[in-house]
């Protein structure tokens, strides 16, 4: 766990589409610490299930800055960066406790062995695509190469649904 000094906070940079890694490299080249949480997941490419690593929060990069020495203008103009996420005109900060949780989640999901399944029976998952997008479900089991069985609460009952495993992500 990292101890922070008085003027240091975590901020969120909004990145240009698909340029999170480019932004990360360019921000780190300026001497700043970053966090780009990534997750291993399985996708179907050319009909085959493959493991890939992608950002946990697509389009966003966390950067640790000392407010007294950081050059916010240079960071905003960095290649791959659109700007800071702002609330009320001020760059948004992320509490250190939240960053510790994000780092722990990333470690748990990227530390998974290639042969291990992405989800285990009983895991809470969120559906990311299709008519059930945004809903929470309980993972039950794999059904073939790219599909799985999940339980979804609908109309006061638990429904069994077979869905593409690539449309699921861990429910944070």
Q: Tell me the CATH number for domain 8-110.
A: 3.30.70.940
- Distance set, CA 132 to CA 118, 128, 149, 164 (Å): 20, 8, 14, 12
Q: Could you report the per-residue pLDDT of 43-86, keeping only the tens digit for each?
A: 777 767 777 888 888 999 999 999 888 999 999 999 999 999 99
Beta bridge partners of 143: 147
pLDDT at 4: 46
The residues of the chain scoring below 70 in pLDDT are 1-7, 47, 108-117, 145, 172
Cα angle at 24 between 21 and 29, to 5 degrees? 130
User: Can you give the residue ranges of every domain in the chain?
Assistant: 8-110, 124-170
CATH class of the structural domain 124-170: mainly beta
pLDDT at 157: 86
pLDDT at 116: 60
């Amino acid at each position: 766990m990292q101890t922070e000094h008085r003027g240091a906070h975590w901020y969120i940079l909004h990145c240009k589409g698909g340029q999170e890694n480019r932004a990360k490299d360019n921000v780190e080249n300026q001497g700043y610490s970053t966090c780009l949480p990534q997750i291993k997941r399985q996708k179907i490419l050319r009909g085959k299930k493959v493991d890939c690593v992608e950002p946990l929060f697509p389009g966003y990069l966390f950067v640790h800055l000392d407010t007294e020495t950081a050059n916010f203008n240079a960071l905003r103009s960095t290649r791959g960066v659109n700007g800071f996420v702002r609330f009320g005109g001020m760059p948004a900060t992320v509490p250190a406790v939240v960053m510790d949780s994000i780092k722990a989640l990333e470690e748990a999901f990227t530390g998974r062995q290639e042969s291990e399944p992405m989800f285990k029976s009983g895991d809470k998952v969120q559906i990311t695509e299709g008519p059930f997008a945004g809903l929470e479900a309980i993972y039950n089991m794999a059904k073939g190469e790219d599909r799985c069985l999940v339980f979804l609460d609908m109309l006061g009952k638990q429904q069994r649904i077979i869905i593409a495993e690539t449309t699921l992500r861990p429910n944070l």
